[in-house]
Amino acid sequence: MQSSITLKAYCKINLCLSVIRRLKTGYHEIESVMQQINLYDTIKIKKLKSSEFSASENSGSPENRRIFLDENKIVIRSDSDEIPLNEKNICYKAAALLKKQFKIKQGIEIYIKKRIPVTAGLAGGSTDAAATMIGMNNLFNLRLSKESLAKISEKIGMDVAFCIIGRTCLVTKRGEELKQIKSPKKLHILIINPGFEISTKEAYQSLDLTRINKNNRTKHIIEAIEHKNVLKIASNLQNDFEYNALKRYPILQQIKKDLIKNRALNAVMSGSGPTIFGIFPNKVALTTAYLILKYKYKFVCPTTSV
């Protein structure tokens, strides 16, 4: 029987993101076209044998013993010091949810190799949780469809469902309604993160509700994808969170200018930010821009759509 599994957890960008309205519940209705890109974390899930668990209880530092004793046999490890390694970690929450719902008694260790910037508008945590759920589905032979996993995942975060379904989706309501659509012709994308965080909560709280949903480009993006028109996709990039973020953080406007100056067809912020991405006409233009900008900003990554 399979004892471990390793998966790639791909992040996402928003080709367009409109906030339709604020709901009475305090949440917001959105409409977005989300696209997975070839930038990913690696998630390795390993079943813990009883002998391995016992040995781990009695070895190592008090901190390590605490992890094994207090976390109901869900062990989180990572090469990153930017994410929690306890029950606050979204992978822990995903694993605990499946363990409880499907009465999984065996302990697991989840190792997270981070490449995706944290709290960056790229769904880095959500995609790790999605990979955890997909991995446990396979590892414990739960036989759940992607749609069933996505429905369960709504309890831990709205972007998790998209990361389970993957590729290109029209996302509506609070983010829980997903419709997979045709994926675009390969997009050549440069991701730039300035090195600070914008929390989703902060982004929603600072929204100017008088400016939202004034420039909804969803239909135009979908039409451009259907016609494989990269130039039209780029010209219709849009994000309702961008106005306030660019006003508050001038460096984001500079990143956009640098991308367009270096032959990006257009550039926009992803999600609640602060990551900015540009779409380029071809691989040569993308590589050239990367070589020029890679020393200017903390995180610069050339990639493509999945």
Active-site residue set: 12, 159
Indicate the DSSP class of residue 105: -
Those residues with Cβ within 8 angstroms of residue 300's Cβ, 6 or more apart along the chain or in another chain: 190, 191, 192, 290, 293, 294
> What does the buried/exposed string (b/e) look like for 35-71 if buried means 16 or more CB atoms within 10 Å of the residue's CB?
bbbebbbbbbbbbbeeeeeeebeeeeeeeeeebbeeb
Mapped onto helix, strand or coil, the DSSP state of residue 210 is: coil
- Cβ pair 173, 25 in contact under 8 A: no
Q: Which residue has the tokens 């719902």?
A: 101
Q: Between the CA atoms of 14, 16, 169 and 273, what dihedral angle is there, to the nearest 10 degrees?
A: 20
Counting Cα atoms < 13 Å in the Cβ hemisphere of 140 gives 23
State phi, psi for 28 to the nearest 5 degrees. -125, 140
